[in-house]
Amino acid sequence: MPPRYRNKFKQLATLILLTLSCNVIAEERVLIFAAASLTNALTEVGDTFKADSIINPTNINPVFSFASSSTLARQIAQGAPAQLYLSANQKWMDYLVSQNAVAAESRVTLLRNSLVLIAPTSSPINSIALTKNWDITQAVGDSRIAVGDPDHVPAGRYAKQALESLDLWSQAMPLLARANNVRGALALVERGESPFGIVYATDAQVAKKVKTVATFPATTHKTIEYPLVIVERNANSATTAFYQYLQTDVAQAIFVKYGFKVDSFVK
């Protein structure tokens, strides 16, 4: 290659590398640990935030890690590098506050949810009366009821509270298929492996292969709340920006679209 072309090639390569470097530097990543039940709604909130150059002029990139609230809380307590945590119940947020693992003063209750009983869309059952007279053993047969593990998963804890309130727990307990998170319980019903499942109303809303056959009265379990907190003591501007965005009317509208309740939304 002639020297003059070699020099031009080097200049072009340098320009490309500088451009790529600038793009990498310009993007700031914010890692959010969030309950599995928020997967669809929070992903859309993140995409909407990234696409808005007015709200997000510095190219902040929210990245999500979805799992059971308990799993994520333990990871944060052990030093996982999350910037924000959004739990499916107050218990695991209380745990992190007690461990001095989050900036407790930033804690806000963002959303609420409902608990429902679901069945596969192919099931002949369209409605069930949730009373102590429901014969779960007969209804389930040789199968099991899919739930998030009541020992660890918030959705499972709410399910246990509701079943205890209805005097159905002793009958249901040996018939549970315990999943690692609420989306795991949903998947068991979607695949037809369980004839019934207990999940959040928002999970049932986004699933195409299940139907809601009953809604547990709100009085049968603790209020299903989703608290949000900043993990880092000295949060950077990118973390603060997305934390505040989650509390805007734009984000609120997306959460409502997915079935979450936001009447206790903190402005």
pLDDT of residue 216: 97
Give the pLDDT band of residue 1 (cuts 50, 70, 90): low
pLDDT above 50 for 16: no
CA angle 169, 173, 178 (to 5 degrees): 125
The boundaries of every CATH 3.40.190.10 domain in the chain are 3-112+226-257, 115-215
Residue 241 CA: distances (Å) to CA of 52, 58, 234, 255, 266: 13, 10, 13, 18, 15
pLDDT above 60 for 4: no
Answer yes or no: are the C-beta atoms of 264 and 109 closer than 8 Å. Answer: yes
Tell me the C-alpha distance between 250 and 243, whole Å: 13
Per-residue pLDDT, averaged over 257-265, amounts to: 81
Chain centroid offset of residue 54 CA: 26
Q: Which CATH architecture describes the domain 115-215?
A: 3-Layer(aba) Sandwich (3.40)
Q: Which CATH number fits domain 3-112+226-257: 3.20.20.70, 3.40.630.10, 3.40.309.10, 3.40.190.10?
A: 3.40.190.10
> To the nearest whole percent, how much of the chain has pLDDT over 90?
86
- The helix (H) or strand (E) run that includes residue 226 is strand 224-230
Answer yes or no: are the C-beta atoms of 213 and 117 closer than 8 Å. Answer: yes
Answer yes or no: are the C-beta atoms of 113 and 224 closer than 8 Å. Answer: yes
Which residue bears the tokens 């000295």?
234
Residue 266 CA: distances (Å) to CA of 34, 91, 106: 18, 19, 11
* 250 vs 24, residue with greater confidence: 250
pLDDT in tens, 165-190: 999 999 999 999 999 999 999 999 99
Give the pLDDT band of residue 5 (cuts 50, 70, 90): very low
Q: Which of 83, 76, 74 is nearest to 106 (CA)?
A: 83
pLDDT above 90 for 6: no
pLDDT of residue 263: 67
Lowest mean pLDDT among 26-35, 85-94, 191-200: 26-35
pLDDT in tens, 78-133: 999 999 999 999 999 999 999 999 999 999 999 999 999 999 999 999 999 999 99
pLDDT in tens, 215-229: 999 999 999 999 999
